């Protein structure tokens, strides 16, 4: 406990799945957290739960496709806590479609705006704060899908691949300010997009050497690792948390089953 004591963090996409788990873990480790979701009372419920446990967290209803909402998210954080130490760009959506039939607005623009454009803009808005004090950690959910193709979900894979290279580029550009940029590459993780007992789970589990999907807290622990001061020489890194899913083609127990 106390690994993030005194740190001020922003977490996006945090009313379910790994984002919600990360808010809980950050607060448990001593951070004060501002987190966002969209059009849901659950964010306020999470905020209240954490306050009842003695934690400090603030929910902001923010549509990340609206740049002014991102400005508000940053402003609320600075007005409330005075600085920003950690940014975790986690928000994401999955749109499944046949590529020759995809809708430009819903299957391309929306995906890219949430998973790439919003992270570009949020990072840009926070950078001056961290550059001035020469301290800051930026973390992004890049996904194992950034490492390979993903049929019927092309924009997800494309956005995550671009995000991964954004992380590496920023790590090179802003290391001179003592700023760190790292990515987490989750494999198949239970969330509102991947439900227990569902069709997607059944498709993915045979490809995972550990034979199961990840729990959200397992990804959240990776975020705590990067957000802490335990790895100050680590930047531009991509941490696989995928049960071995990215290691190669997995074909069960080797007997052809």
Residues recognised as catalytic: 156
156 in Cβ contact with 195 (< 8 Å):
no
Tokens 């600085």, residue?
A: 83
Give the closest residue to 231 by CA, choosing from 170, 184, 169, 198: 184
- The values of phi and psi at residue 46, to 5°, are -65, -45
- The values of phi and psi at residue 58, to 5°, are -140, 125
Which distant-in-sequence residues (6+ apart) come within 8 Å of 158 by Cβ? 112
d(CA 56, CA 78): 15
Residue 117 CB coordination number (10 Å): 17
């Amino acid at each position: 406990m106390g690994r993030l004591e005194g740190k001020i963090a922003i977490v996006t996409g945090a009313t379910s799945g790994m984002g919600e788990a990360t808010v809980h873990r950050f607060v448990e480790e001593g951070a004060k957290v501002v987190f966002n979701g969209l059009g849901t009372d659950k964010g306020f419920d999470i905020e209240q739960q954490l306050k009842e446990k003695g934690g400090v967290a603030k929910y902001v209803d923010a549509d990340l496709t609206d740049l002014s909402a991102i400005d508000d998210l940053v402003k609320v954080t600075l007005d409330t806590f005075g600085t920003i130490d950690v940014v975790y760009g986690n928000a994401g959506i999955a749109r499944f479609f046949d590529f020759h039939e995809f809708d430009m607005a819903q299957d391309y623009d929306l995906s890219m705006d949430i998973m790439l454009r919003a992270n570009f803009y949020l990072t840009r808005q926070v950078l001056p704060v961290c550059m001035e004090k020469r301290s800051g950690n930026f973390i992004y959910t890049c996904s194992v899908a950034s490492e390979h193709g993903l049929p019927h979900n092309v924009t997800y894979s494309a956005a995550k691949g671009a995000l991964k290279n954004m992380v590496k580029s920023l790590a090179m550009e802003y290391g001179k300010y003592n700023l760190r940029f790292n990515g987490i590459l989750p494999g198949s993780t239970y969330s509102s997009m991947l439900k227990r007992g569902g069709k997607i789970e059944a498709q993915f589990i045979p490809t995972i050497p550990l034979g199961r999907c990840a729990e959200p807290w397992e990804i959240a622990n990776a975020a705590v690792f990067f957000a802490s001061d335990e790895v100050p020489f680590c930047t531009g890194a991509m941490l696989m948390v995928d049960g071995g899913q990215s290691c190669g083609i997995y074909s069960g127990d080797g007997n052809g089953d």
